[in-house]
């Protein structure tokens, strides 16, 4: 396997195992979560002010659509798997239907 194929395969596992809320029914999805701490006013980084991101591409192994979802802070600190991954699923589901992307 090439390095690219290994990375793509790992990104499928991110969705299947770590971020199942990013799934799109009938499609194999590749994804990557991210949570970043924002700078603190007193120096260092905040543990409560976070940016939640999710990158997803569909269908695996030859994606036709890729989407990045980035959420700047929430009222209660959470995880990318519960904040941005579900939004990716909604957007991705719309796009594969709208663009008539084959499964």
Place of tokens 């590749």: 30
pLDDT tens track for 7-47? 999 999 999 999 999 999 999 999 999 999 999 999 999 98
State whether residue 53 is helix, strand or coil. strand
Q: What residues does each domain of the chain span?
A: 3-98
Q: pTM of the full predicted structure?
A: 0.91
| Per-residue pLDDT reduced to its tens digit, 48-101 | 999 999 999 999 999 999 999 999 999 888 889 999 999 999 999 999 999 999
- Rounded CA-CA distance 75/54 in Å is 19
* Maximum Cα–Cα distance across the chain: 51
Task: Provide the CATH topology of domain 3-98.
Answer: Beta-Lactamase (3.30.450)
């Amino acid at each position: 396997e090439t390095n690219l194929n290994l990375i793509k395969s790992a990104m499928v596992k991110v969705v299947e195992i770590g971020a199942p809320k990013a799934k799109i029914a009938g499609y194999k999805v590749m994804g990557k979560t991210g949570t970043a701490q924002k700078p603190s006013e007193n120096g260092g980084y905040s543990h409560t002010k976070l940016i939640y991101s999710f990158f997803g591409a569909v269908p695996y192994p030859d994606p036709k659509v890729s989407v990045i979802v980035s959420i700047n802070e929430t009222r209660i600190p959470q995880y990318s798997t519960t904040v941005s991954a579900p939004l990716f699923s909604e957007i991705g589901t719309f796009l594969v239907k709208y663009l008539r992307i084959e499964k």
